[in-house]
Chain A
């Protein structure tokens, strides 16, 4: 009988294996596509099962090859991992579907699918890794795959952007590796659970090591998750990638590195550190800067995809802000925002990709009247944009609510003010998109809606935006458990 205890490793293995088989069957594109989608679907089902199991029975620990920690490799699926992996698998399944049915943007389709599969496998791996070196390995796989799915478009800009991303990302990896080495020096362990226990004893003896490790990690994972001012690679990379890649990168990849950061800094090094070092203040300042500066940059963009990319910088700031406010509701808000931003940003990138493909327009000022030519697509964009602004009734409002409440709980009313200010600024950059699309003179009548198969992901994501906006209680238990775990 199929035992659920193997499900975590199966998720990673399924995606990795599919990633290797898909290029082999590239001659039979239909088979490759079926395999690609099938792997995504299987992993989604598994992640639902795992999440249900974790909610019911608590954390699952899987010893790879039967070797227990500290010597063997373990996968740890706690509420946090189950939640994020659920987000990754569902959102990526939607993106898989889009990649298969959307008009072709890349030359080697099978190769592209393989890269996406590797990237997704690595993301699941990062989230579930129980030992810090495995985490690093998965971070490396995901970084390289992420660079590749930008360059795969083959245009001059995309190659340039991906090269810049590669260099900065490699610097980030170096920082991360160095900090892992420093932590290993102090603890003698790579397993995060054992590391935490040892650190409680030895951290006092080697304060400089821990401090340096933390600094390198903030920079290393900060670069990868595009925390301002380490975000400089992001706008070009996300704006010049193929549609499905942009959605994947903006919606999921940056967040996985945040998850990795939380895992190491909060859950391994321990919260006590935050009261000893000014790390919390540094993160708060960086997050605030991300929110303000990202918004200002976004306001001046006319290119839609660049606008969305800068908005991602802002949203990363939201998530870091929530985590560093350190009140229960703020952390819940940040955890919510991981899901909600994934939904809405994926929705927006996919929908905008559709618009660009159907009309050839890349700028907001060119969109005049397109809303009447492509009613469904623009209805989806409108919902996504309203959600980004945080209008009640959409999912974006929920995370805004929790983050703002959390800021007040933490006694930091100024950050609640900051969140609201950023909400206003996002109205300033998102609403012109909607307004120009619906009002003003008519667009050329040749523009039309894409096929239903392409619209399906957009509709599904839009419904998700509405659903979580009105009925957030469905996922609340998992979010609560996750936040409690982080705040432990």
Chain B
């Protein structure tokens, strides 16, 4: 069979082709356009799902195209980690796109939104399914640049400003990655991800490369102090795009860092060179500042954006500790945060879509008007705070255990403190919306449904995942995360 028809390649190529197809058909039929845009992530999801049994059985998929772009070449692979992240990404993308088909009705330039959403999906899937650093970098650039179009969608002056800041930082981050990638190539003569890493000796150039990686991925993941674009860019985008940016695309940064730490350098090399400390320091600052600044934000989407910064700190902490259980927490948090933050942004978007209320203080009493939406919001927010048995609790639990394994009490306290702060910025909001009195209802007790099903269903599905997945006898996401972390630590596929 032709290599190009293998699952990991198809999961990337199909959205890429659909991008072009959508672009061609959108003038004739908006229905077809919407259908294709929803289809793209679904196809990727199903393709990956079909590989689930194979990967669980321990079969590692790797496909190489050395002739494309010599001397580095391109390759694709699926292992536990990319399977989990790929499934999460395509599922969230699928749900968000269904939501978008209704949400975007009020917006302009829809013919630009859908193709670029699909193109960004192609880039993101490429990032996750790449088998080497160079392919990773190529798709990372594709994803970052096409996401720009989603961010500036509204074309307001604020959006253009935020977009420009995003663009410049993204290019800078991309160049840092580029430098790091070719530096690795220079050192090792290969850039293909290998179990246990392939850099034998961490030389000066390797350390430089690692910091370049940290900068490149840090910019994408919004690690303090490289997060400056994030709180500007996420709120100005249309809500489905914000959900994708915060829920999905941030993860590619930490995902890349996991690959670099475990599959390029090898965690022993990182530990010997003392590079884990820089990650831990950054993680601590990010967790603390992200959560603290979120408290002071009045605009709901800005609050959510800052909260994302803090949550990325969790994942960075899980990587930096270099402990298996901490890594399980980090990997599981990729899944957990994707579902939580996507549902929060979708719920916030629903409120803005229906009432136009962006300020947190205006949300008082909304629970009566938009019961389901606010319930979704509540579940996701409680999960962010870390109430068992919601998904947010599981990742925090594993992270805390990992910190203890590393013999570091401080980080457990930091996690508790951050939970506390999450509580401060989510709980009063929940309380107000559910139990507060609406100020000026003006007899708006309409009998109309609160939202069209296309917007409600995705949120409800996400909320159910958050609520129920840990009640399964065997949490499938946690299982995959454990396998992935185990594989990364043992240095096997």
Q: Which residues of A contact B (CB under 8 A)?
A: 389, 391-393, 398, 400-401, 404-405, 408-409, 413, 416-417, 420-421, 423-424, 427-428, 431, 435, 439-440, 470-473, 476
Contact = CB atoms under 8 A, between A and B. Distances in A.
Contacts of A413: 183, 205, 208
A408 B187 CA distance: 9
Interface string B197-235: 000000001001000000000000000000000000000
Contacts of B205: 408, 413
Contacts of B160: 435, 439-440
B138 interface: yes
B178 A472 contact: no
Contacts of B155: 439-440
Contact of A409 (B67, B178, B179, B186): B186
Given A409-B186, A417-B179, A392 B68 contact: no
Nearest to A423: B175
A479 to B, nearest CB: 11
Given A391-B145, A404-B179, A420-B179, A476 B70 contact: yes
Interface string B294-330: 0000000000000000000000000000000000000
When A and B form their complex, which 7 residue pairs have the shortest distance between CB atoms, in order from nearest? A420-B175, A408-B186, A427-B171, A392-B138, A439-B155, A392-B141, A405-B182
Nearest to B68: A470
B152 interface: yes
B167 A408 contact: no
23 contacts: A391-B141, A391-B145, A392-B137, A392-B142, A393-B141, A393-B142, A400-B178, A401-B69, A401-B182, A404-B178, A405-B182, A408-B182, A413-B183, A416-B182, A417-B179, A420-B175, A420-B176, A420-B179, A428-B168, A440-B160, A470-B69, A472-B70, A473-B67
A404 B182 contact: yes
Contacts of A405: 71, 182, 185-186
Contact of B70 (A393, A408, A473): A473
A393 B138 contact: yes
Interface residues of B, number: 30
Nearest to B160: A439
Contacts of A389: 171
Contacts of B141: 391-393
Interface in B131-179: 137-138, 141-142, 145, 152, 155, 160, 163-164, 167-168, 171-172, 175-176, 178-179
B180 to A, nearest CB: 10
Contacts of B186: 405, 408-409
Nearest to A405: B182
B182 A427 contact: no
A398 B137 CA distance: 14
A416 B160 CA distance: 31
Interface in B452-474: none
Contact of A420 (B152, B178, B185): B178
A471 B69 CA distance: 7
A12 B178 CA distance: 42
Nearest to A476: B70
Contacts of B171: 389, 423-424, 427
A471 B71 CA distance: 12
A427 B167 contact: yes
Given A424-B172, A440-B155, 7 more contacts: A391-B145, A392-B141, A401-B69, A404-B178, A424-B175, A428-B168, A472-B69
Which of A392, A404, A416, A420 has the most chain B CB within a 10 Å cutoff?
A392
A125 B163 CA distance: 49
Which of B70, B138, B178 has the most chain A CB within a 10 Å cutoff?
B178
A421 to B, nearest CB: 8
Contacts of A440: 155, 160
A405 B168 CA distance: 23
Contacts of A427: 167-168, 171
Contacts of B185: 405
A413 B72 CA distance: 19
A266 B163 CA distance: 46
Nearest to B185: A405
Contacts of A398: 69
B2 to A, nearest CB: 17
A427 B67 CA distance: 29
Contacts of A421: 175
Contacts of A435: 152, 160, 163-164
A354 B176 CA distance: 36
A410 to B, nearest CB: 10
Contacts of B69: 398, 401, 470, 472
Nearest to A428: B168
A393 B138 CA distance: 8
Nearest to A431: B167
Interface string B340-356: 00000000000000000
A175 B335 CA distance: 67
A347 to B, nearest CB: 19
Nearest to B153: A439
A420 to B, nearest CB: 4
A416 B178 CA distance: 10
A427 B160 CA distance: 16
Contact of B152 (A401, A439, A476): A439
B212 to A, nearest CB: 9
A58 to B, nearest CB: 24
Nearest to A329: B71
Contacts of B145: 391
Contacts of A400: 178
A420 B183 CA distance: 13
Interface string B230-261: 00000000000000000000000000000000
Interface string B63-75: 0000111111000
A428 B175 CA distance: 13
B423 to A, nearest CB: 40
Nearest to B69: A472
A195 B182 CA distance: 40
Contacts of A471: 68
A269 B281 CA distance: 55
A476 B71 CA distance: 11
A314 to B, nearest CB: 15
Interface string B115-139: 0000000000000000000000110
A416 B208 CA distance: 13
Interface string B412-456: 000000000000000000000000000000000000000000000
A416 B152 CA distance: 32
A317 B176 CA distance: 21
Contacts of B68: 470-471
A391 B138 CA distance: 9
A325 to B, nearest CB: 14
A413 B212 CA distance: 13
A417 B176 CA distance: 9
B183 A408 contact: yes
Contacts of B163: 435
Contacts of B183: 408, 413, 416
A16 B236 CA distance: 60
Interface string B382-414: 000000000000000000000000000000000
A442 to B, nearest CB: 11
Contacts of B168: 424, 427-428
Contacts of B138: 392-393
Nearest to A432: B164
Contacts of A393: 138, 141-142
A382 to B, nearest CB: 11
